[in-house]
Structure 1
């Protein structure tokens, strides 16, 4: 995997992936930025959330669960001192469907956390990561 980060001005950068996608990253005004994009640590947290969500949805679909939506709400604590690394990350999944099996949802979350999500498994080497979930039942139409 390759990526390219191009400095634009002050503390604003454009990140480009090898698949041809781009994202703007910037700092807060008190750090010399203009608040034009996400902070790098926000991007890291979102990347982990997307990685684990990808797994959960894929596992539930392969298990033929009637999933209609999946939202991962993330909360991260950071160290007070530099480097301000993540110290704790909690992922709360809100999985929606009609007749979802709670054991299958729990299994999908656990498999992602322990076996498939490279981002969260890598981060878990230095960060305490916890997960939970809730199921939102939709009515049959």
Structure 2
């Protein structure tokens, strides 16, 4: 199985990239405050991909375990090296779960399955950076 994307230069420092699901998004570095392209910086997009990959796993596994939460967010912080090429040497993935009567044991198991087994993007990050994870429960 393989994925293919096509990325096209739009203007200045902006590129448009398609996606195997058919949707397009912009990547680049904007020089203007009112950038009409609303582009994502490429390295930050990698962090978003990591969060989405793991989040998809967590939601899927939690659903199968019949555990619920009212809200869920993932904050990812990447620390770059000082020298070029600048890469993330450390990445912190911070999971936040909100709800009443959160089943912390099941949710922790869902996160751990994503981190240790299912999330391919997480595994790719491990090839070049130290990945740390934290789980936070916010009971209403």
TM over 0.5: yes
1:19 pairs, out of 17, 21, 31, with 21
CA distance in 1, matches of 2:36, 2:5: 23
**8 Å contact 1:75–1:90 — kept in the other structure?**
yes
Number of the residue aligned with 2:102: 100
CA distance in 1, matches of 2:36, 2:51: 26
Number of the residue aligned with 1:111: 113
User: Are 2:135 and 1:133 equivalent residues in the alignment?
Assistant: yes
Number of the residue aligned with 1:74: 76
**8 Å contact 2:26–2:37 — kept in the other structure?**
no
Name structure 2 gaps, 5 residues minimum: none
CA distance in 2, matches of 1:106, 1:37: 34
Name structure 1 gaps, 5 residues minimum: none
Number of the residue aligned with 1:52: 54
Q: Which has the higher strand share?
A: 1
Moved more, 57-66 or 38-47: 57-66
1:65 pairs, out of 64, 67, 71, with 67
Query: TM-score, with normalisation over the residues of structure 1?
Result: 0.89
Runs of 4 or more off by more than 6 Å in structure 1?
A: none
The Cα offsets for residues 22-48 of structure 1, whole Å up to 9 and x where unpaired, read as: 11112143xxx9984111001111011
